[in-house]
Amino acid sequence: MIINKKRMKKDFDYITSISATETGCTRLSYSDEDRQVRDYIEAGLEEIGAEILIDSVGNIRAKYNPMGSKESSFLIGSHIDTVPYGGRYDGLTGVLASLEALRTIHENEISLRHPLELLIFAEEEGSNFGVTMIGSKYMAKKIGLEDLKELSNKDGVSAYDYIQSRGYNFKPEEDYYISAQNARGMIELHVEQGQILDEEAIDIGIIEAIAGMYTYQVIVEGSSNHAGTTPMIYRRDPLLGASEMIVRLNKLVEGYESAVITVGKIEVSPNASNVIASKVVFNIDIRDVVQEKMVRLAEEAKEVCNQIASDKKLDLDIKLLGSSEVAILDRELIDLIERVAKKTKLNYMRMNSGAVHDNAMLADIIPTAMIFLPSIGGISHSPYEDTDFDDIVTGSQLLLDSVIEYVG
Ligand SMILES: [Zn+2]
């Protein structure tokens, strides 16, 4: 049973054409482009007789159950939103691969032991309200509608109000949440968004763990003064302290195998060339696939900042802005995908994901697994994001074959 490459290509070309911006694709959740793409995909799902449910925050759950089975569903899918001026493949690839798998199963009239559901998670990228994976967090009951009142978009409108203004009805009592009772597992296919597969010339990644993450905000305060009249020994320069912290944080991670640490955002006040800074605010992003090590690294990072601040007599405040735990994916599902990949002689490797995905939000509730496809040059969240279409076809076929192995 072979997926229809031509049909998939047509889906990709149509969807990227209606969300094309001067450069790349812009398809924020709850936008008009998002609506058009949803209409297109929903029409495709209705054609094969899938039952479509949409929840309060806009997650789509399309159930394909030709045998009328009473069993719990097996889930496939991903997200369709992009970052502003993003690429063609992040998220959409997993959704279209899943749609194509359902269409192929339908055409071939395959009987299924369990229903299959295609999930399309809303607001994965966090482009509207600065918080990622709102859809999957909602489905996993990791956030509720009350939390959406606390978040707001760039115009100051709360997520709670904005989502409703875009036509979604909040009926939490009718919403479905992912549970071990209603779902038996999930496979998400996604582009890697990193360079390992491309560098190693491997077509498929089978993911064992998804990195957890801590985001801290560090505020360093000193004494602002005249750059010409203040001798070096009398200074309390927070920018000098912050600089030392950033260098030491990057050194700290050398003792860890898989952890990464990034300072990618910094603000200096007053930010003038002839004034010693009064205040520096920067963020620390810490990730690892081993929970205990990530926790230890975060503690050490805070210690390093504290020590430098006290040596330099600077005031320091460290706030945790967000965190997600390491997700260990399901052994049995991983083995199943590997078996299928071996049988079809695919060039694959087992690997970890440094990026957090919707699947990580579900991994503590149901068994989950992920299939990665190479990102050319490792580029993502960029108009230059690219994946060879033949790799997409290979990955989509592996998704279909794995699903059949599970539910067929
Ligand atoms: Zn994505």
**Residue finishing a domain among 275, 290, 324:** 324
- Name the residue among 96, 123, 101 with its Cα closest to residue 40: 96
If asked whether residues 158 and 271 sit together in one domain, one would say no
pLDDT digits (tens, 9 = 90+) for 242-275: 999 999 999 999 989 999 999 999 999 999 999 9
Q: Per-residue pLDDT tens for 56-66?
A: 999 999 999 99
Tens of pLDDT, residues 363-398: 999 999 999 999 999 999 999 999 999 999 999 999
Q: Let me know whether 172 and 226 are in one domain.
A: no
The predicted model gives 96-117 an average pLDDT of 96
Quick one: average pLDDT of 345-361? 96
Regarding whether 140 and 125 lie in a shared domain, the answer is yes
Does residue 130 have a pLDDT over 90? Answer: no
Using the 3D structure, point to which of 324, 356, 386 is the last residue of a domain.
324
Say which residue the tokens 């801590």 belong to.
Answer: 214
With 0-12 / 13-18 / 19 or more C-beta atoms within 10 angstroms meaning exposed / middle / buried, residue 137 is buried
Model confidence at 330: pLDDT above 90:
yes
Q: What would the pLDDT profile of 167-178 be if each residue is shown by its tens digit?
A: 998 999 889 999
Question: What CA–CA distance (Å, rounded) separates 98 from 307?
Answer: 51
Residues 226, 207 share a domain: no
d(CA 182, CA 369): 17
Which residues lie below 8 Å from residue 198, measured CB to CB, with a gap of 6+? 192, 374, 375, 376, 377, 378
> Residue range 72-92: average pLDDT?
96
Q: Are residues 141 and 232 in the same domain?
A: no
**CA dist., res. 87 & res. 83, Å (int):** 8
Measured in angstroms, how far is the CA atom of residue 124 from the centroid of ligand 1? 7
Among all chains, which residue has been given the structure tokens 């963020």? 283
Give the Å distance between the CA of 132 and the centre of ligand 1.
10
* Distance of alpha carbon 40 from the chain centroid: 23
Q: What is the pLDDT at residue 91? A: 97
Mean pLDDT (the chain) is 96
The confidence score (pLDDT) of residue 231 equals: 96
- Distance (angstroms) between ligand 1 centre and the Cα of 357 equals 6
Q: Please give the distance, rounded to the nearest whole angstrom, from the Cα atom of residue 14 to the centre of ligand 1.
A: 19
Using the Cα atoms of residue 340, residue 342, residue 344 and residue 349 in order, give the sign of their dihedral: positive
Q: Are residues 150 and 289 in the same domain?
A: no
CATH of the domain at 293: 3.30.70.360
Looking at this protein, which amino acid is placed at residue 250?
N
Residues 144 and 179 in one domain: yes
Question: Domain with 160 in it: what CATH number?
Answer: 3.40.630.10
Q: How confident is the model at residue 353 (pLDDT cuts 50, 70, 90)?
A: very high
Task: Report, as an integer, the average pLDDT of 126-131.
Answer: 90
- For 268-323, write each residue's pLDDT tens digit: 999 999 999 999 999 999 999 999 999 999 999 999 999 999 999 999 999 998 88
For the stretch 211-223, pLDDT in tens is 999 999 999 999 9
Q: Please check whether residues 239 and 349 belong to one and the same domain.
A: no
Residue-range definition of the domain harbouring residue 264: 212-324
Instruction: Please give the pLDDT value at position 402.
Output: 98
Determine the distance separating the centroid of ligand 1 and the alpha carbon of 191, expressed in angstroms: 8
Q: What angle do CA 150, 153, 154 make, to 5 degrees?
A: 135
Same domain, yes or no: 278 and 151: no
pLDDT class of 29 with cuts at 50, 70, 90: very high
pLDDT at 124 over 90: yes
Say yes or no: 257 and 270 in one domain. yes
Among 107, 103, 88, which residue's Cα sits nearest to residue 41? Answer: 103
Are 178 and 64 in a shared domain?
yes
Flag whether pLDDT at 342 surpasses 90. yes
In the reported structure, the alpha carbon of residue 349 is separated from the centroid of ligand 1 by a whole-number distance in angstroms of: 20
Find out whether 150 and 131 touch, Cβ atoms under 8 Å.
no
Domain boundary among 296, 324, 352: 324
| 332 and 244 co-located in one domain | no
Has residue 408 got a pLDDT over 90? no
Measured in angstroms, how far is the CA atom of residue 175 from the centroid of ligand 1? 24
Closest CA to 95 of 16, 174, 157, 163: 16
pLDDT (0 to 100) of residue 19:
87
Number of domains in the chain: 2
pLDDT for residue 22 is more than 90: no
For ligand 1, the distance from its centroid to the CA atom of residue 302, given in whole angstroms, is 30
End-to-end, the C-alpha distance of the chain in Å comes to 12
Distance 347 CA to ligand 1 centre (A): 23
Å from CA of 174 to ligand 1 middle:
27
The pLDDT value recorded for residue 323 is: 87
260 backbone dihedrals φ, ψ, rounded to 5°: -130, 150
In this predicted structure, what is the pLDDT of residue 221? 98
**Residue 287: what pLDDT?**
95
Cis peptide before 367 (omega within 30 of 0): no
